[in-house]
Structure formats: C-alpha cells, structure tokens
Structure 1
Amino acid sequence: MKNILEEIVDRKRVEVEFSKKDLPIEKLKDFQYYGRSTNSINSSLLDETKTGIISEFKRSSPSLGSINGNASLETVIRAYDTFGASGISVLTDHQFFGGSSQDLIKARSLTNLPLLRKDFIVDPYQIYESKAWGADVILLITAVLTEYEIENYAELAQNLGLSVLLEIHNEDELPKNLINSINIIGVNNRNLKDFKVDVNTSIKLYEKINPAYLRISESGISSVDTIKSLKELGYNGFLIGECFMKEKSPERAFKQFVDELKG
C-alpha cells in the first residue's frame, strides 16, 4: 500500500506529462515573468529588519483537509509583505493542497518579496514552469529525488536564476558533498510519509548541516518561543503556514505573531 507521499508523486508525474504536451517549454518562455530578474531569498533571510519567516499561503493539506478555503490570496499576501515576512511560499499543487499556478502568478503581481514555489518537483519541466510563473525559489525534496536528480535540477535552477531550497527529513537525506547550486537546507519537522510533526527534528539535525548553506526549519512551528530557541541555535529562517492559514483572518494572525516576536 502506498503512503501519501508516493501517491502525490505518482499523481504529479502524470500531471507533468500532460502539462508538457499542453504547454511546451518554448511557450513557457513567452510568459510575462520568465525574463525577470529574480529576488535573493538568501539576502532577505539575512536582512535583520525582517523576521526570517517564510510565510505560506495554502488552502488545504492531506493531513488536515481544508485549512482555509475562503482566504483571500491578495489580502494574505499583502499582509505577509507589509508585516515583515522574509519570503512567501505559495502552494501550486491542486489535488492535495488546493493551489494552482494562478496563485503563484497572482502573488508575483502583489509583492517583491522572494516567492517560493511549493510543490513536488519530479521533472526539469517544472523548473521552467516555476521561472515562468514568477518564482524566485524552488523546493527540491530529497525524499522523492535521487542524488543525481538533485544536483542536475539545482544546476538547472541556478542557470535560470532561481534559488534552491533542499528539504530533508533526517540525517540520511543530507547531501554527501557540498552542492554549490543549493542555497538553503530546510529541515521539515513533518514526516511526509505519515505526517507526524516533531520540532526536535530541527534541533537534532542542525549541527549535521554544512554551514555553507543557510538553514531553515519547516512545519510545526506555532509559537514565538520555538522561533527564538531555533534562532539561538543558529537557524536563519522558518517556513510557517498552517499557524496563520488555519485562522479566520490569516493576515491578522501573522501580524499578531510578528508583533509578539518583535516584542
């Protein structure tokens, strides 16, 4: 029996094959944002005037089902921008997370902050998509890619001007050698096979990560105290979504969280 991650990846491969036929790479290059210069997520995460938070817009997830189907993308993105996010993550997977390419394209028109395309990248085609849709950063998930794919996809992204966030879940998934085309290592505190969350995963793995990479903690962060502890440890950033999106007013929740963080 397949776990949820395997189901998502299998579905994603089917979607990509359809997209390749429907919209070849040469057509993607005609998109409005394909030729734009991208914004540096590294610079934004290291900017001390910002929070270090990559705040996320998502409507649903396999673990929770519907999170906030009525949230206004425009309102939430503008709030993330206004109140101090270092970057914004936008889910583009539709079947499992309720996102779309249009969410990312719309977000690009609303902010100059670095945008992370949050999806399950299993084919180089999706990297061209990400560039065309206005992303500055792509996510590569170690659990679904080979070492060869990671290196090649990261190099392609770099050639397109995109930054790369490599997501790991355990020590075995760390790159064996330094990969210069990877900008950030993200420790996902959520196990993608069973969706259990343990923030201690970030604590355990911090020292194992090559300091040449920026380091961020992802998932399961819902308190300012957790951020302060992880900052003291040395983490450069924090990917947070459900903490804000599950609230009736994600924009207000984000502002209140940042106000408390700045204290």
Structure 2
Amino acid sequence: MNILEKIFADKKKEVALKKSLIPVTQLEQSVLFNRDSPSLSARLKESKTGIIAEHKRRSPSKSIINHGLNVDQVAIGYKEAGACGMSILTDGKYFGGSLDDLLLARASVTIPLLRKEFIFDPYQIIEAKAYGADVILLIAALLDRQEIKSLSETAKSIGLEVLLEVHNDEELQKSIMPSIDLLGVNNRNLKNFEVSLEISKSLAARIPDEFVKVSESGISSTEAIKELQPYGYKGFLIGENFMKTDLPGESAKTFISQLL
C-alpha cells in the first residue's frame, strides 16, 4: 500500500464519521453556501505569473514544514503578493490542516480558494462550498472515469470549479471531460516522492487547449516556471517553497516580482 492508498483508506473512515454527525442539509444552510465564487481559471488565463500559493503545515514526504503561522496571516500575505489563488490543505492526519483553515482564509481574503483534499464523496464537495472554497481538487489516481464525471458535475452544479490532477497519460485520458476546468500535472511520483518537471513537459501536448494547464509540485524557482510556460502552463501551484520561510507572503511577493 503506497502513501496515497493509505491516506485514502483513512479518509473514507473520516468522511463516514462526518456524515453521521453533520447532515448535508446543515452544510447547505451555511452563510457561505450561496455566495458567488470567483473564477480561478479566469484569473490564471489573464495572469503573467499564474501563482497558486499554498498553505501547508506538513506533508508525509517532508514531515513538518511550518506549524508556527496563522492561516489568515498567510492568506493576506499571499493576496498582497499578487497570487492568483490560494490552495489550502484540509487533511488533518497527514498534512496538519482543517476545514477551519479554509474558513479563516475565506474570512480574510476574496481571492479564489482551492480546497486541497482527497475527495471521493459528493459530501466533501458540499462541505467545501459551505466552508468557503471556490475550487475543488480531484485526484485521478484515486478515481475512475465515472467517479470523476459524477463528482465534477456535482461541483459545477453548485458553482465550484474543478482542478483535476494527473500523474501520467493513462490518468489524463480518463479525465478529459467538459465538467473539468483546470488540468493539473503533479510532478511528484507518489510511489517514491521523486520530482521531475519532465512529467509536466511530457503531458503538456496531450492536454486539450480548452483546459487551463497547471503544474504542481517541485516548483521552487522562477526558472522552472519560465521553463514550463512555453508548454502552455498558465498555473503553478507552489506551497513548500513559501511555507518553509517565516514570512510566506513576503517570499511569494519576491518570487512573483521576479516573474514580471
């Protein structure tokens, strides 16, 4: 069992418990549920930099990254730095996040927020909307084509955009459908955690132009972004590079300024 499968097994237990405690009808009564979500894909298309800055306290591959910062301060810093959007890890056991992080960020900024989570149940999508997300992540490695279709259509029906993450051509081919807005290529091999930008480069030409291309993981320099932009990538998800510093917002500001 690789780490993704282990996380997924734990997530199924977690979601089953949540569903028994908080019904969908309660989530739908959230004051945030009926708000209009800003479009991350539109912002990325218009941007010269395309940075989606991430809030991440720890990860299975790197252990602790940064436990000392308030998510609202990080969110404000990212917004002021000029990030197109913010990604927020809401998994607790492996990444140290929570839905409260999403809520606090939403109260602090108006930029698009991505709920980065291991989503397999429509309940998690309703939850994302109720806590202020504008975009959800679906991971092709965890889902079959029908599940991707059903979950992405559920997200679209309540006004959320969908970022679909792939690692190889097989995952990409089962994921191409009209209910996806952004196609993300994860440069990290989830079996051994090795990172290579060649994954993004090799898949770029296979991603149809109607999807916003996003490169994820292992992007730690402006050179990497300039290397990927000619391949059609408009979005770049960066977390650890900013979060490992004491002032993620300032790190993001410096990084983004170097791209302009």
- Corresponding position of 2:148: 150
Structure-1 residue corresponding to 2:41: 42
1:166 aligns with 2:159: no
In structure 2, runs of 5+ residues without a counterpart are: none
Q: Which residue does 1:212 correspond to in 2?
A: 210
Matched residue SS, 1:208: coil
Matched with 2:9 is 10
| Offset from partner CA, 1:36-92 (integer Å, 9 cap, x none) | 1111111111123x6211100010000000100002212211111011101100000
8 A contact 1:4–1:194 mirrored in 2: no
1:127 equivalent among 113, 125, 128: 125
CA positional deviation for 1:254: 1.0
Distance 1:101 1:193 in 2: 27
Partner of 1:258: 256
Q: How does 1:57-76 map to 2 (within 5 A)?
A: 57-76=55-74
1:175 is paired with a residue whose SS is helix
**3-state SS of paired residue (1:39):** coil
Paired letter, 1:9: F
Alignment of 1:104-123 (within 5 A): 104-123=102-121
SS at match of 1:35: coil
After TM superposition, the score normalised by the length of structure 2 is: 0.97
Shift of 1:179: 1.0
Change (3 A) 1:233 1:98: same
- Mapped contact 2:164–2:175 kept (Cα < 8 A): no
Q: Which residue of 2 aligns with 1:221?
A: 219
SS of alignment partner, residue 148 of structure 1:
helix
Deviations 1:153-191 (A, max 9, x none): 000000010000000001110134741110010000012
Tell me, in whole angstroms, the C-alpha distance in 2 between the residues paired with 1:34 and 1:176.
30
Partner of 2:199: 201
> Partner letter of residue 29 of structure 1?
E
TM-score between the two structures when normalised by the length of structure 1: 0.96
Letter in 1 for 2:53: S
**Gap regions ≥5 residues in structure 1:** none
Of residues 223, 229, 232, the one that matches 1:231 is 229
Moved more, 68-77 or 172-181: 172-181
Distance 2:14 2:220 in 1: 33
Check whether the contact 1:188–1:217 (CA below 8 A) recurs between aligned residues: yes
1:21 corresponding residue in structure 2: 20
Q: Please state whether the residue corresponding to 2:236 is helix, strand or coil.
A: strand
**SS of equivalent to 2:203:** helix
Moved more, 192-201 or 139-148: 192-201
Contact 2:102/2:133 (CA < 8 Å) preserved in 1?
Answer: yes
% identity of equivalent residues = 48
